[in-house]
């Protein structure tokens, strides 16, 4: 069987991605063949494409998709042809019309959730789940800081944190993004390009600081984020949209109030099948009850992934983005 896919032969800028026809391997015993109906775009795709996160060349990028099962390997019992499924895990290879995936990395999409919604929310939504419910357990009455609050993960975190009873402070790159974040539960959007977000946060919290900062911007915000924490607060450094965080002298954590620092990844939080299923189930539940809305603010044909990456890196996107095969 053949399929069209985005391929990377040399890492680099968006133009490193080319649209090609490739062969689809027959599924091994524990694998499933999926015909994608929607593919999720995530910032991690940029890291793979640029070479920041190395992958063996050539490769098909993408970690998130939804679609219909076409065929299953001999040992697969949980899924059958015709099932609607979604995933947000390695192995890479989501930017394709058809792909093979290990069955134990899939979940069924519940009724009431469309394939497009599933492809848009699985990776960013399960990230919001582990950040808010497992890395630092947000409690009613907490005030939290989330950077890039109008982004894919950002809008989901704002809504979910609000639902948990938190006050949400969020940084954003423009007035429009501030408005969007506000509509999604961000009580205090801060324009971090023009405002000093540390001073602003200290003002909002009466000088106290916050118990947790969720920082996916990295290089540009990391050190200032530490200054937003109250003593014994937790710095959750979970991304690097502005570049890699500089090496850190751990003495700084003591000097700034015995802070905790973690650099989590969704892979570790969903490595066990039970964790993957629990995380996806909790996500689908908050979406089903309307506490969290998935905002698909951009869609592109999969073959135009180059433009999608350009827009993501230029900070032109908000909410989630889906690629259509
Ligand atoms: P976003 O939709 O949040 O897009 C990135 C946003 O980051 C931009 O829109 C922009 O918002 C902000 N940003 C700040 N500085 C820059 C810069 N120099 N270049 C580009 N963007 C910048 O993407 P995602 O929701 O897909 O991912 C958000 C982050 O979370 C990423 O860093 C990603 O790697 C990380 N992540 C980590 C996971 C983990 O498990 N560790 C899992 C999922 C995501 P603004 O204009 O408002 O500043």
At residue 235, the pLDDT reads: 98
At residue 225, the pLDDT reads: 98
How far is 321 from 312, CA to CA, in rounded Å?
A: 9
Does residue 307 line the site of ligand 1, with CB under 6 A? Answer: no
How far is 5 from 100, CA to CA, in rounded Å?
A: 13
Does residue 122 line the site of ligand 1, with CB under 6 A? Answer: no
- What CATH number belongs to 140-263? 3.40.50.720
Query: Among 41, 43, 147, 236, which is best to mutate for testing ligand 1, by the most ligand atoms less than 8 A from CB?
Result: 43
Does residue 296 line the site of ligand 1, with CB under 6 A? Answer: no
- The protein residue whose alpha carbon is closest to atom 1 in ligand 1 is 151
Residue 215 pairs with which residues in a beta bridge?
A: 237
CA distance readout (Å), 16 to 9, 10, 298:
7, 6, 21
Cα of 44 from ligand 1 centre, angstroms: 9
Cα of 242 from ligand 1 centre, angstroms: 8
Angle between helices 115-130 and 152-163 (to 10 degrees): 70
At residue 53, the pLDDT reads: 95
**Token representation of residue 214:** 């969720």
DSSP classification of residue 75? T
Class for the domain spanning 2-122+278-324: alpha beta
H or E segment to which residue 119 belongs: helix 115-130
H or E segment to which residue 43 belongs: helix 43-50
Shared fold status for 2-122+278-324 and 140-263: no
Does residue 319 line the site of ligand 1, with CB under 6 A? Answer: no
Query: Among 89, 147, 241, which is best to mutate for testing ligand 1, by the most ligand atoms less than 8 A from CB?
Result: 241
Peptide bond into 50 cis (omega under 30): no
At residue 33, the pLDDT reads: 98
At residue 213, the pLDDT reads: 99
**Token representation of residue 305:** 């992934």
Cα of 237 from ligand 1 centre, angstroms: 12
Looking at ligand 1, which atom is closest to the CA of residue 177?
A: 47
At residue 279, the pLDDT reads: 98
The answer to whether 245 and 219 have CB atoms below 8 angstroms apart is yes
Cα dihedral sign for 49, 6, 148, 287? Answer: negative
CA distance readout (Å), 309 to 34, 98, 142, 240:
24, 21, 35, 15
Does residue 170 line the site of ligand 1, with CB under 6 A? Answer: no
Cα of 271 from ligand 1 centre, angstroms: 22
Does residue 152 line the site of ligand 1, with CB under 6 A? Answer: yes
How far is 18 from 7, CA to CA, in rounded Å?
A: 5
Does residue 91 line the site of ligand 1, with CB under 6 A? Answer: no
- The protein residue whose alpha carbon is closest to atom 10 in ligand 1 is 315
Scan for tokens 């502005």, then name that residue: 242
**Nearest one of 271, 87, 293 to 180, comparing CA atoms:** 293
Cα of 215 from ligand 1 centre, angstroms: 9
Cα of 71 from ligand 1 centre, angstroms: 35
**Token representation of residue 104:** 């134990």
H or E segment to which residue 141 belongs: none
User: So where are the chain's domains?
Assistant: 2-122+278-324, 140-263
Residues of the chain with pLDDT under 70: none
ipTM above 0.85, yes or no: yes
At residue 276, the pLDDT reads: 98
Cα of 151 from ligand 1 centre, angstroms: 6
């Amino acid at each position: 069987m053949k399929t069209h896919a985005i391929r990377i032969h040399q890492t680099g800028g968006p133009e490193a991605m080319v649209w090609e026809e490739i062969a689809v391997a027959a599924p091994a015993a524990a694998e499933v063949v999926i015909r994608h109906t929607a593919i999720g775009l995530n910032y991690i795709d940029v890291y793979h494409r640029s070479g920041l996160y190395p992958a063996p060349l050539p490769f098909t990028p993408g970690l998130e998709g939804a679609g219909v099962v076409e065929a299953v390997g001999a040992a697969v019992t949980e899924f059958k042809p015709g099932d609607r499924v979604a995933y947000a895990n390695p192995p890479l290879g989501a930017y394709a019309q058809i792909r093979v995936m290990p069955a134990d990395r899939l979940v069924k999409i519940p009724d009431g959730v469309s394939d497009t919604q599933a492809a848009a929310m699985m990776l960013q939504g399960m990230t919001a789940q582990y950040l808010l419910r497992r890395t630092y357990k947000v409690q009613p009455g907490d005030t939290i800081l989330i950077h890039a609050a109008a982004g894919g993960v950002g809008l989901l975190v704002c809504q979910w944190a609000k639902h948990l009873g938190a006050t949400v402070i969020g940084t954003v790159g423009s007035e429009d993004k501030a408005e969007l974040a506000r509509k999604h539960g961000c009580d205090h959007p801060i324009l971090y390009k023009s405002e000093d977000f540390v001073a602003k946060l200290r003002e909002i919290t009466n000088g106290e600081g916050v118990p947790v900062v969720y920082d996916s911007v990295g290089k540009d915000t990391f050190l200032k984020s530490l200054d937003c924490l109250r003593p014994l607060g937790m710095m959750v450094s979970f991304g690097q949209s502005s570049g890699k965080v500089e090496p850190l002298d751990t003495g700084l954590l003591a000097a700034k109030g015995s802070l905790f620092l973690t650099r989590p990844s969704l892979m570790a939080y969903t490595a066990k099948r039970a964790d993957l299923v629990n995380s996806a189930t909790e996500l689908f539940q908050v979406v089903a009850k309307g506490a969290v809305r998935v905002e698909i603010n951009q869609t592109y044909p999969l073959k135009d992934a180059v433009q999608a990456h350009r827009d993501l890196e230029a900070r032109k996107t908000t909410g989630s983005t889906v690629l259509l095969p």
